[in-house]
Amino acid sequence: MKFKAPVTKNETYDVTVMDLTYQGMGVAKIENFPIFIANSLPGEEIVMKVTKVAKTYAFGRVESWKSKSPDRVELKNKQYTQTGIAPLQHLAYPAQLEFKQHQIQELFYKAHLDQIEVSPTIGMEKPYGYRNKAQIPVREVNGQLTTGFYRRNSHDLVPIEDFYIQDPEIDKAIVVIRDILRQFHVEPYNETNHTGVVRTIMVRRGHYSHEMMVVLITRAKKIPMAFEVVEAIRKQLPEVKSIIQNVNAAQTNVLLGKEEKILWGSNVIHDQLLGLTFAISADSFYQVNPEQTNKLYDLAIKKAVLTGKETVIDAYCGIGTISLAMAKHAKKVYGVEIVDKAIQDAKINAQLNKIKNVKFVTGKAEDQMAKWQADGLKPDVIVVDPPRKGLAPEFIAAATEMQPKRVVYVSCNPATLVRDVQTFMAKGYHVSQPIIPLDQFPQTPHVESVTVLEQD
Ligand SMILES: C[S@@+](CC[C@H](N)C(=O)[O-])C[C@H]1O[C@@H](n2cnc3c(N)ncnc32)[C@H](O)[C@@H]1O
């Protein structure tokens, strides 16, 4: 380290990058004043320009390299570093997997839970082209309707056709739809004036079924030349089984509005996981990495140790994927999920797969757990797969009151996992085996893992 705080904006410094932050940036620790540097790796020596100084940290930009990390790999596309689509793509894949394992381990160390071990991350053979869903903003760039991705920390659109981590068939479809919208002079959304028609193109593709769903998210209720647009999409994209318009007239970053119209075809597409078929609606959660999801669910089933006699609760069940995969190995599975459409899909999915020993309920998991507890339900195993914010304390209170033998916690955020594990520990549960990270999101810093908690 060649300098001391205070760090000043617009100055340049020689820096050795020590660590990686959650954002996948390099961080140079300078006398308790961390500097975050986008796209640098530990061990690299660089000349850095400070661009922004906040109260307790600063942001920098690499001016020149002195020595590169052995884990640095060539960027597939330099635009990605502007947008943050694949913020870890400059890190070799084995190092990404190690980074994710250490991310979890470090958080447990910080919580003084050194006894909890974390296994190596289960990765992919080909860690790109995996995403089965794209949500691509539509804006005007150089006078024409354009698709791409937002520049980091902004809503400026960078035109992009190859998204690297998405199913290449989805990338191709986005370009076809963009060209059709151009052909019929459909206006792109203008965020500043809140005018225009199409805000976002969402495409989902069944990895195994190859069924495609196109959702045009619009500000306006009416799409001019809608019939012609739909016909052209159908003709040019034969995999499309569902074309939906979702109206979102609000000035918001929330993607989907409440109003949905089926422009053509079905309201769902289908896909297969672990030999089961699933119907998926536009607004239902469905894991984005099919190859890794098969491994994730397999792992969750193994860790639940089912013999066919157990009662299982699958909380945060989405369209019932884990519930139905477990139902084959359990006596009865109860699923709860907040999105009613997802529960409707889950019920259809039970019928599609002729599975009868499941019960799905719409509601907040924390409320439903308290109801089931009051009703005297005694699960042997509880599986949880919550969103990033993790579990509500009321949820854990009700879950532990029911005294399941085992809790299988599928987490997409290690910070909330550590917090929730501590709450479980205070209620008589412990982590009974090493936590297993599984890479659902290669080239990004997101960390998924499976933890098993058992009664003391
Ligand atoms: C990470 S997803 C997991 C879904 C499912 N297990 C799967 O693998 O497809 C989390 C799910 O929790 C749902 N959710 C969010 N908050 C909830 C709450 N308070 N109660 C119940 N479900 C909730 C979301 O709608 C989403 O479907």
Q: What is the predicted ipTM?
A: 0.99
Shared domain for 223 and 344, answered yes or no, is: no
Closest ligand 1 atom to 296 CA: 8
pTM, to two decimals: 0.91
What confidence tens digit (pLDDT) does each residue in 37-53 have?
A: 878 888 899 999 998 88
Shared domain for 140 and 194, answered yes or no, is: yes
Q: Which of 27, 97, 304, 412 is catalytic?
A: 412
Question: The CATH number of the domain where 20 resides is what?
Answer: 2.40.50.140
Q: How far is the CA of 307 from the centre of ligand 1 (A)?
A: 26
Shared domain for 307 and 362, answered yes or no, is: yes
Shared domain for 332 and 447, answered yes or no, is: yes
Residue to probe by mutation, ligand 1, list 338, 339, 396, 447, most atoms within 8 Å of CB:
338
Shared domain for 257 and 143, answered yes or no, is: yes
Shared domain for 237 and 305, answered yes or no, is: no
Question: The CATH number of the domain where 259 resides is what?
Answer: 2.40.50.1070
Q: Is residue 128 part of a domain?
A: no
Shared domain for 262 and 169, answered yes or no, is: yes
Q: Is residue 297 part of a domain?
A: yes
Using the 3D structure, point to which of 215, 242, 273 is the last residue of a domain. Answer: 273
Which of 28-37, 207-216, 397-406 shows the lowest per-residue confidence on average (mean pLDDT)? 28-37
Shared domain for 311 and 432, answered yes or no, is: yes
Q: Is residue 4 part of a domain?
A: no
Tokens for 387, please give them.
């969103």
Q: Is residue 81 part of a domain?
A: no
Q: Is residue 2 part of a domain?
A: no
Domain that holds residue 260: 133-273
Q: Is residue 56 part of a domain?
A: yes
Q: Tell me the three-class secondary structure of the chain, residue by residue.
A: CCCCCCCCCCCEEEEECCEECCCCCEEEEECCEEEEECCCCCCCEEEEEEEEECCCCEEEEEEEEEECCCCECCCCCCHHHHHCCCCCCCECHHHHHHHHHHHHHHHHHHCCCCCCCECCCECCCCCCCCECEEEEEEEEECCEEEEEEECCCCCCEEECCCCCCECHHHHHHHHHHHHHHHHCCCCECECCCCECCEEEEEEEECCCCCCEEEEEEECCCCCCCHHHHHHHHHHHCCCEEEEEEEECCCCCCCCCCCEEEEEEECCEEEEEECCEEEEEECCCCCCCCHHHHHHHHHHHHHHHCCCCCCEEEEECCCCCHHHHHHHCCCCEEEEEECCHHHHHHHHHHHHHCCCCCEEEEECCHHHHHHHHHHCCCCCCEEEECCCCCCCCHHHHHHHHHCCCCEEEEEECCHHHHHHHHHHHHHCCEEECCCEEEECCCCCCCCCEEEEEEEEC
Q: Is 317 an annotated catalytic residue?
A: no
Using the 3D structure, point to which of 52, 72, 92 is the last residue of a domain. Answer: 72
The single-letter code of the amino acid at 431 is V
Shared domain for 269 and 297, answered yes or no, is: no
Q: How far is the CA of 286 from the centre of ligand 1 (A)?
A: 10
Say whether pLDDT at 424 is over 70.
yes
Q: How far is the CA of 378 from the centre of ligand 1 (A)?
A: 22
Using the 3D structure, point to which of 38, 72, 106 is the last residue of a domain. Answer: 72
What confidence tens digit (pLDDT) does each residue in 257-295 have?
A: 999 999 999 999 999 999 999 999 998 899 999 999 999
Q: Is residue 103 part of a domain?
A: no
What confidence tens digit (pLDDT) does each residue in 74-87 have?
A: 887 777 777 878 88
Shared domain for 298 and 446, answered yes or no, is: yes
pLDDT for the residue 1: 44
Question: The CATH number of the domain where 402 resides is what?
Answer: 3.40.50.150
Domain count, the chain: 3
Shared domain for 256 and 335, answered yes or no, is: no
Question: What's the pLDDT band for 315 if we cut at 50, 70, 90?
Answer: very high
Shared domain for 263 and 326, answered yes or no, is: no
Residue to probe by mutation, ligand 1, list 204, 278, 285, 438, most atoms within 8 Å of CB:
285
Q: Is residue 105 part of a domain?
A: no
